[in-house]
Amino acid sequence: MTEQDQGVQTAEDRKEALKTKRSGRICIALFVAFLIVLLSFGRAPLRRVAGDDGSRIDFNLISLLGVGIGVFAVFYLPISFRRILRVSTARKVLGLIGGFGLVVHVLLVLLVSGSGGLGGGGPVATGGRPSMGRSGAEEWVIDGEKYRIAATYSLVLPEGLQYTIEYPYRFRPSDGQMNDRRALEIVFPLMKHAYEQGLYKRVSVAKLGKGKLNPSRIGVALFQKQGSYVGGYRVGLSLADIKKRIEANPTTSTAPAAGAGL
């Protein structure tokens, strides 16, 4: 090999070393980004949230950041996979965890956008979190009356696994200003029925590293649809709080006021 060939080879080796070094830095960046995105993992960057005054659009910057970097990871990982394998073991492992984690975030966001949020056929007011174990419409018989339930499903919340009930409700001026207290008055009969009949036990979730996760809460999403517009209110209680309220008022009526006709 001539000196000129050796010089060319050395230049190529240096170029490849720089690319490998850059890949190591990108691996660290992907992992750091993944740790940040965990704060809003799987949540939609844009979501419509129902409230007593209608609905509003919430913007989640962290989730949007995760989607952008996740799309980059979708292309970067297969293209640079061989070079990633040449970086140090620690950076390689962190990069693959971060990269694939961000890709999963993108997939979950697409899933939520396609089947969740407000409107369409998806669950109402899930806060951008994917629902699990969703059932179809059904009728509940409470004190001899039939009530239409749009759907039930479970949500993993910071407070624990929640059994959620979607309940169509016709909001009326006589309801006054909707707040947590008024909403709870309307939905508690449904919570009580779900608790006493053990309906919340229908669902459980296997959480990585924590085993089986059983419902610890019951929530209700009151909603009213007018064309493509959805307005509503949501409220939830822990099983312990529901039990206390039932014991304090054992003879409380179990008939929701205005939703049965929807």
Q: What is the pLDDT of residues 212-223, one digit of tens each?
A: 778 899 999 888
| Digit-coded pLDDT (tens) for 120-154 | 344 455 666 777 778 888 888 887 888 788 888 88
Q: Give pLDDT, residue 13.
A: 72
Compute the mean pLDDT over every residue in the chain, rounded to the nearest whole number: 77
Q: Give pLDDT, residue 174.
A: 65
Q: Is the pLDDT of residue 108 over 60?
A: yes
Domain spans of the chain?
3-115, 138-248
Q: Give pLDDT, residue 133.
A: 78
Q: Give pLDDT, residue 97.
A: 93
Q: Give pLDDT, residue 32.
A: 93
Question: How far is Cα 99 from Cα 29, in angstroms, rounded to an integer?
Answer: 9
Residue 166 sits at φ, ψ, to 5 deg, of -95, 120
List CB contacts of 240: < 8 A, sequence separation 6 or more.
Answer: none
Angle made by CA atoms 204, 169, 156, in degrees to the nearest 5: 20
Q: With 0.75 as the threshold, say if the pTM is over it.
A: no
With CA atoms as reference, report the closest residue to 232 among 52, 108, 89, 85.
52
Lowest mean pLDDT among 9-13, 119-123, 128-132, 200-204: 119-123
The amino acid occupying position 210 is: K
Q: Is the pLDDT of residue 56 over 80?
A: no
Residues in the chain: 262
Class (C level, CATH) for 138-248 = alpha beta
Which segment, 89-98, 178-187, 206-215, is predicted with the most confidence on average? 89-98
